[in-house]
Amino acid sequence: MRVVIGITGASGAIYAKRLIEFLHKKHTLFVTISKHAKSIFEYETGVNFFDFIKTKDVEYFDNGDLYSPVASGSFKIDACCIVPCSMKTLSSIANGFSDSLISRCADVAIKEKRKLVVVPRETPFSSIHLENMLKLSNLGVYITVASTAFYNKPQTLEDVVDFVVGRILDNLGIDNSLYKRWEGKNSTNVEL
Ligand SMILES: Cc1cc2nc3c(=O)[nH]c(=O)nc-3n(C[C@H](O)[C@H](O)[C@H](O)COP(=O)(O)O)c2cc1C
């Protein structure tokens, strides 16, 4: 698959990091990151974003580079994922305000009726945030909130992260076994 990944300045850079780690060998990734997200990535993960992507098979574009191929609907892309998605970027996407490459890529995905997965991170949500999410959901956008489940009995931080990343991959239509799926209360898959 050819996937655009936009990273914005909400907490949860680790989700983007894990998603790229999972996808980069088998899929074609086009990655962009906002100014705030760059510093939050380093603050939260302890890893410099550029050092990280240097070791990954991805094509990187500056968030201000509206001349990049991914900014155009004519460039072939299968899906776009904004992870994590700040309330600011959520608002710009919901209102068609494409002043950055990230919001433009999301806008392109919506207008071309391509798969778009948005991973908001905030709590509590205000009515403004909820209205923006509803607007996008009504357009067919996946609103995959970075909210973990506990029915799969996570043991580590990696388990918690992999649950959310696994659900993002499910939305993208990419096979994964990153988390234990619910198979009923009496399943041997989950110890209750
Ligand atoms: C450490 C840190 C954590 C933040 N966490 C969130 C968050 O979880 N959700 C959110 O909407 N904004 C969060 N913000 C605020 C955004 O970074 C800010 O609104 C910024 O303008 C978003 O811009 P961007 O969408 O272009 O990255 C955080 C900021 C900092 C410095």
pTM: 0.96
pLDDT at 133 over 90: yes
pLDDT tier at 185 (50, 70, 90 boundaries)? confident
Closest to 116 (Cα-Cα) out of 106, 130, 104, 103: 106
* Ligand 1 atom with the shortest distance to the CA of 102: 26
Q: What are phi and psi of 117, to 5 degrees?
A: -115, 125
Q: Is 38 in the pocket of ligand 1 (CB under 6 A)?
A: no
Kindly state the tokens that stand for 37.
């997200």
Encode pLDDT of 73-87 as tens digits. 999 999 999 999 999
Contact 160, 148 (CB under 8 A): yes
**What is the topology classification, in CATH, of domain 2-174?**
Rossmann fold (3.40.50)
The whole-number average pLDDT for the span 23-28 is 96
Q: Is 40 in the pocket of ligand 1 (CB under 6 A)?
A: yes
The predicted structure's pLDDT at residue 17 = 98
CA distance 58 to 55: 9
| 124 prior amide bond cis, ω within 30 | yes
End-to-end CA distance of the chain, in Å?
Answer: 37
pLDDT tier at 104 (50, 70, 90 boundaries)? very high
120 C-alpha to ligand 1 centroid (Å): 11
Indicate the DSSP class of residue 44. H
Q: For residue 19, give the amino acid letter.
A: L
Contact 180, 24 (CB under 8 A): no
The predicted structure's pLDDT at residue 192 = 43
Mean pLDDT of the chain: 95
Residue in this structure with the two tokens 């959310």, named with its chain if needed: 164
Q: Is 32 in the pocket of ligand 1 (CB under 6 A)?
A: no
